[in-house]
Chain A
Amino acid sequence: AQSVSQHNHHVILSEAASLELGCNYSYGGTVNLFWYVQYPGQHLQLLLKYFSGDPLVKGIKGFEAEFIKSKFSFNLRKPSVQWSDTAEYFCAVAKLRDDKIIFGKGTRLHILP
């Protein structure tokens, strides 16, 4: 079945550590890619998106993600995390032929102060 996979369900890091959250999808064809973040007690909000062009996209709060088409991946990175980055992170894929957005199951990130 076509899906969006986030490899890590729960990640714990210390402040200033580097972060990489994995995301792979199994759809063929053209896709748009997103990362959303859900801070504790809040709704999901957009972190960054990729539609076309430079496969390395910059988002808010120092986050970036790289689209590697050959690997069907869109991993999220941040060189130095902060305690305020504690949240749940969702990768999402929009299949252009289906006009549908599918979310991964999310990764809970906990940053130790």
Chain B
Amino acid sequence: DAGVIQSPRHEVTEMGQEVTLRCKPISGHNSLFWYRQTMMRGLELLIYFNNNVPIDDSGMPEDRFSAKMPNASFSTLKIQPSEPRDSAVYFCASSPGPGINSPLHFGNGTRLTVT
């Protein structure tokens, strides 16, 4: 089992550019979560999917952020346009069932720097 795979590991971009973060969950896992980690706010839940359907996106900070899960093995988090305050580590996690009952398996994260 390769675990949750995120790409890229690091992304440096200029303000105003579009950024796309990618995630491949563990095969067979039905739930997928996107978190953002910063020093100030810790780990924030942005959005989560169950069976490819977005269940709760109330944590998505603004319309600049969007997430998709076109199939069970792939999800993207897009920021357009990016801003310096978006700089953070973005984690994807998956679980076999609803996250409340199943421990989350995290990817290694994408460290985003917006200059």
Contact = CB atoms under 8 A, between A and B. Distances in A.
Interface of A: 32, 34, 36, 42-46, 49, 51, 90, 94-96, 98-106
Interface residues of B, number: 23
Contact of B45 (A32, A44, A102, A105): A102
Contacts of A95: 100
30 contacts: A32-B101, A34-B103, A36-B106, A42-B108, A43-B4, A43-B91, A43-B106, A43-B107, A43-B108, A43-B109, A44-B93, A44-B104, A44-B106, A45-B106, A46-B103, A46-B104, A49-B103, A51-B101, A90-B43, A94-B101, A95-B100, A98-B56, A100-B99, A100-B100, A102-B45, A103-B43, A103-B44, A103-B45, A105-B41, A105-B42
A34 B105 CA distance: 13
Contacts of B33: 101
Main secondary structure of the interface of A (DSSP, over half): strand
B100 A99 contact: yes
Interface of B: 4, 33, 35, 41-45, 48, 55-56, 91, 93, 98-101, 103-104, 106-109
